[in-house]
Amino acid sequence: MPPVSALDRRAILRLIATGAATLLASCGRPKEDIHPLANQPEGTLPGTVRRYATALPLAGYGRGVTGLVVDERPIKLEGLAAHPASLGSTDPFIEAAILDLYDPQRLRAPFGPTGPSNWSALAALFREQLAPTRGRGVAVLTGRVTSPTMLAQLAAARTALPEMRHVSWEPFDDDAPLAAARAAFGRPLLARPRLQDADVVLLLDADPLGPGPEQIAHARNWSDRRRKAPMHRLYSIEASPSLSGSMADRRQPAGPRDLAAACHVLAAALGGGSGPLPTLPPELERLVRDAARDLKAAHGRALVIAGERQPEAVHAFAAWANGVLAAPQDWIAPVSGDVSPHCGGLAALADDMHAGRIGALVVLDANPVYAAAPALGFKQAMARVPLTIAASRFGDETGAASQWRVPLSHFLEDWHDWRAPDGTASIAQPLVHPFFDTRTPAAILDLMIDPAARPGSFDAVRAQWTGLDDAAWRTAVASGVVPDSAAPLERVGTAGLVLPPIPPQTLTIDLRPSSQLYDGRFSTNAWAQECPDPITKEAWGSSARMHAGDMSRLGLKEGSLIRIDRGGSAILPVRAVSGQALGTVTLVTGYGREGTGQIADGLGANAWALGGNGTPRIAAQEGGSSVATTQPVFALEGELEKLFPVLAPAEAMPSVTPKPSLLPNPPARGNAPPQYAMAIDTDLCIGCNACVIACQAENNVPVIGPDEMAVGRDMHWLRVDRYVSEGTAGFQPVPCMHCEKAPCEPVCPVEASVHDSQGLNLQVYNRCVGTRTCEANCPYKVRRFNFLDYAERSVWGDAPHESVTAQRNPDVTVRARGVMEKCTYCVQRIEAANHAAAPGETPAPVVTACAAACPTQAIRFGTLDSPDIAGARKDPRHYRLLEELGTEPRTSYLARRRNPGDTPA
């Protein structure tokens, strides 16, 4: 185009004409192709959802899932009712895993020291360099291995390379409980608390409802007990608010010193120990005395749980206490076969690497450079190993420090098997062909054993399960579990009393798994990053959590940058968290990644760098920075009882008289179709965020990225609000209320917000012109506006991101820019049920994505006359949010209860 100054009249006219012609020509509908499969599998139809049982691992443990597959694409993962670690529900990690499959950041082909390479080059390398060594100086580093196939491969590898060393290492390990059991019972065992049978539970910095492989099962068992009368009681002593602590009936913050001292006081109250008792802060002392009273009274139904990051002595104490209390708790031998300490194994390996005794290191799906204790100097150690190979799904720190970086398949792309935390085995079938030239860890081990062999992963897994005949194998694969494969329960003797030594009162660092990113393995997942932390509501980053008193003592303000040194160092902003113990700084893991791609790089600081020993040093840094949050923290003056009522065990909600309302009445219901409604029990919601990501996966909710999140343009259709009231906290999921008298409807100038005959408040995207008046008029603030073309924008940087569109639900419209959207009660599922109903029959019950995901079944969905909803609406704890406005919401709540059992001070 010529410069503007050079344009004459004719040129301008020509440009205008061209522009007008282009505009007119662009008005047609896009032409579309139809691509029927060349050979459609028999019995399937395009566009229909098929469900397959499979499994996904977390920290090596398998959890059963149901994969929803449309046109050969897995688009959503749901729970698997038959599997003991899923029980039909999910957690955020299962929900987010489907995005990993389509993630444009995935590694696609092996990468050697000289650039792009291939598997046969790696096989040749194994043949030349590994085979002659007989395994001397060869080390394989994996995470926790529960897979029978993988264990068999490792055994085969030891036969082929007899001196090969295998090290299992998980960042969040079981070393302390195993060591405590070994000391107490003479063999390494793991405790499996039965929360469903416990009337009184004392948590010693334990978070059974928090993130981890057993979250779903624990949450379900806990909720089963909480539903029953008489109400149980949950005590929690912990350093920083966790999900379990938020749900506790009584909770006191305590650092390591107070926790150990509390064990002494508790031991004395339970009839053990002697000698002078350490002093405790008065509130903690009262809690411990009340807890001891209740634990003793509930003999046989009382449980003490020690947190997995607590030292060995606290676990030993808990084992003693549970023995005294005859606690509802089972013991099993670890299902991972290898019971050597993870921490020690990795340290010994690092030592040998530093000393030059390791000639070849193969890292399979582990990331020690990122998460190992800084004292090990793992990155420097890797530089001393002549041959390093790292296998992972995404680029990571260990891959960057290795000569070879080879890609692993996604779990849904190949055959696997895993054992659940209770030992139940599941055979995981692939739901899709591998997209790229990737392999499973077991196939890479195969390559090491015999570089020429190339058995398929199906054959490898099938060979492992020869005990199952073909019929039994098919049943096991189709149902997702191998029957009767749970680990046998172990009988244990009485554990002796071990009192934890009382550490001095110093500043301590408390590292926790992130509820979204776990130990960092979900850092690259955009859904996980965008999901707000349950406690701080931070997204796309994380602050250090401190007590406000500590902050003012150090002269820190909210958002001040600090530098923490312990082993390594981390620079990150601080945030005051109510309920934090004095003298502890809590950091969540998973941030501070490098070389992983556009999503995770440069967000937050690596908490694992503070995995050293000793007293941390904290120094204020210049400047400040804030992490985007989705819920501001402020005091609600007198409004808290209305928004988040907390009741005593048998108390009922006071009745509310709605104010006169100008909103139009809902249309009269004559012969109406099923009327849908939702009931959410805030007494059972543990704030795990499974529903948030389930909704995102089901309803094509876009990812907007940290910048948009920082200006408050959160697009999640469902948010989980956290409230802290005196002595307790709780979570309140807030989807669209589907008000019968909806304030959004009369204000829409184009009738894009309307009701249908099923009582759904609809948002008609093709009518919406984006005035946002509905959002302004919505008292619940559940409407979300597409300020930008979020569906087409990429948060994955320059990488082509078309692959993520393959995850989208074909039954839900992808919203364009300038359109308002909100929770639809999964109208696509309702309509699917309507269409599937035989003529003249009522449609089958509908479950929304959030209700299906909920591990505690706190979210219930159904018609107004269904037992779940009708029962909830008759419950004395039933209330509607902002009931006095007279909007008559279809989504309603059951109030949080608290059963503190205080003794008067």
Q: Which residues bind another protein (CB under 8 A)?
A: 29, 31-40, 45-48, 670-673, 754, 756-758, 760, 762, 764-766, 811-814, 824, 827-828, 830-831, 834-835, 839-840, 842
**What angle, 0 to 180 degrees and rounded to 10, lies between the N-to-C axes of helices 690-698 and 92-102?**
40
Strand pairing partners for 754? 762
Minimum distance from CB of 269 to another protein (Å)?
A: 59
CB 328 within 8 A of CB 193: yes
Matching residue, tokens 């000393």: 355
Between 40 and 494, CB nearer to another protein: 40
* Tokens standing for residue 474: 């098919």
Minimum distance from CB of 13 to another protein (Å)?
A: 23
Between 42 and 798, CB nearer to another protein: 42
Minimum distance from CB of 756 to another protein (Å)?
A: 4
Is 538 exposed, middle or buried, given 0-12, 13-18 or 19+ CB atoms closer than 10 A?
buried
Q: Residue 690 contacts by C-beta under 8 Å, 6 or more apart in sequence?
A: 89, 90, 91, 92, 94, 95, 853, 854, 855
Between 301 and 784, CB nearer to another protein: 784
Q: In what order do the strands lie in the sheet with 49-58?
A: 49-58, 61-70, 73-79
Minimum distance from CB of 800 to another protein (Å)?
A: 21
* Tokens standing for residue 657: 């008289």
CA-wise closest residue to 245 among 500, 510, 519, 534: 534
Between 493 and 670, CB nearer to another protein: 670
CB 407 within 8 A of CB 106: yes
Between 36 and 504, CB nearer to another protein: 36
Between 262 and 830, CB nearer to another protein: 830
Minimum distance from CB of 758 to another protein (Å)?
A: 7
Matching residue, tokens 């696509």: 828
Minimum distance from CB of 889 to another protein (Å)?
A: 18
Between 73 and 194, CB nearer to another protein: 73
Minimum distance from CB of 830 to another protein (Å)?
A: 8
Q: Residue 81 contacts by C-beta under 8 Å, 6 or more apart in sequence?
A: 87, 88
d(CA 496, CA 494): 6
Minimum distance from CB of 27 to another protein (Å)?
A: 8
Q: 230 preceded by cis ω (within 30°)?
A: yes
Helix (H) or strand (E) holding 588: strand 584-588
* Tokens standing for residue 219: 């949450």
Q: Residue 606 contacts by C-beta under 8 Å, 6 or more apart in sequence?
A: 370, 568, 570, 589, 591, 592, 593
Matching residue, tokens 């071990």: 498
Minimum distance from CB of 745 to another protein (Å)?
A: 12
Minimum distance from CB of 203 to another protein (Å)?
A: 43
Minimum distance from CB of 841 to another protein (Å)?
A: 9
Minimum distance from CB of 792 to another protein (Å)?
A: 13
d(CA 398, CA 610): 18
Minimum distance from CB of 748 to another protein (Å)?
A: 12
Between 73 and 379, CB nearer to another protein: 73
d(CA 226, CA 233): 9
Between 114 and 766, CB nearer to another protein: 766
Neighbours of 530 (CB within 10 A): 29
| 704 residue type, one letter | I
d(CA 377, CA 396): 16
Between 578 and 842, CB nearer to another protein: 842
Helices (H), 612-715: 640-643, 690-698, 706-710
CB-based burial, 575-599: b 16+ in 10 Å, e otherwise: bbbebbbbbbbbbbbbbbbebbbbb
**What angle, 0 to 180 degrees and rounded to 10, lies between the N-to-C axes of helices 148-160 and 441-449?**
20
**CB half-sphere exposure, 869, CA atoms < 13 A:** 19
Strand pairing partners for 560? 624
d(CA 421, CA 213): 7
In angstroms, what is the C-alpha Rg of the chain? 28
Minimum distance from CB of 535 to another protein (Å)?
A: 34
Between 46 and 456, CB nearer to another protein: 46
Between 408 and 819, CB nearer to another protein: 819
Minimum distance from CB of 676 to another protein (Å)?
A: 11
CA-wise closest residue to 89 among 730, 838, 849, 890: 849
Between 623 and 839, CB nearer to another protein: 839
Minimum distance from CB of 823 to another protein (Å)?
A: 12
* Tokens standing for residue 616: 């941390």
CB-based burial, 813-833: b 16+ in 10 Å, e otherwise: bebeeebbbbbbbbbbbbebb
Between 504 and 840, CB nearer to another protein: 840
Minimum distance from CB of 808 to another protein (Å)?
A: 11
**CB half-sphere exposure, 275, CA atoms < 13 A:** 6
d(CA 831, CA 877): 31
Between 4 and 24, CB nearer to another protein: 24
Chain CA centroid to CA 460, Å: 30
d(CA 759, CA 863): 10
Between 377 and 673, CB nearer to another protein: 673
Between 329 and 813, CB nearer to another protein: 813
3-state secondary structure of 785: strand
